[in-house]
Structure 1
């Protein structure tokens, strides 16, 4: 599996896994290959409907609201089996 295949697999998996939460703006954030484990670590970011709620009517009108929150998940994919091994939350420090 090459990097493009790993990213496509991770994006599709996140879309399917979180489908009942209506994920939007699914995108690649990071990708890394772990030689020892022979696994791809693909970080996917996405937003859900409740991430885009306006803080107040005034904020929505003035366009001063914060950027939408995003969830970040690390998808581990076995390189030789093309199988998702795990999905974990990726904490982002601000």
Structure 2
């Protein structure tokens, strides 16, 4: 079984490989093991590339939830998370 650190690293690597140069400020936002202990749910947050850092107010963030198989570390799914 993979641990929490491995799940976070797998998710970040997977997302980065699919989206090279298409985001800024990737960060781990949430991570949890499902109740059945079958999957890790990893939420990553990032700034889309069109963000103007000189705009006053909060910087928009986008979020993805990656489901990682807890046994073998394979990415099962990646979905948009709306906040």
Give the structure with the higher percent helix: 1
Q: For the residues of structure 2 that align with 1:34 and 1:45, how far apart are their CA atoms?
A: 20
Q: Is there any run of 5+ residues in structure 2 with no aligned partner, and where?
A: none
Whole-angstrom CA distance in 1 between matches of 2:77 and 2:19: 14
**Pair 1:53-2:52 in alignment:** yes
Tell me the matched-pair count. Answer: 82
Q: Superposition RMSD on alpha carbons, in Å?
A: 1.7
Q: Which has the larger radius of gyration?
A: 1
Q: Distance in 1 between matches of 2:57 and 2:78?
A: 27
For 1:18 and 1:2, locate their aligned partners in 2 and report how far apart those are by CA, in whole Å.
Answer: 25
| Unaligned stretches of 5+ residues in structure 1 | 55-59
Distance 1:9 1:75 in 2: 10
Runs of 4+ in structure 1 deviating by more than 4 angstroms, as ranges, are: none
Q: Among 67, 70, 77, which residue is 1:79 paired with?
A: 70
TM-score by length of 1: 0.78
Compare relative contact order (CA 8 Å, sep 6+) and give the higher one, 1 or 2: 2
Q: TM-score by structure 2 length?
A: 0.87
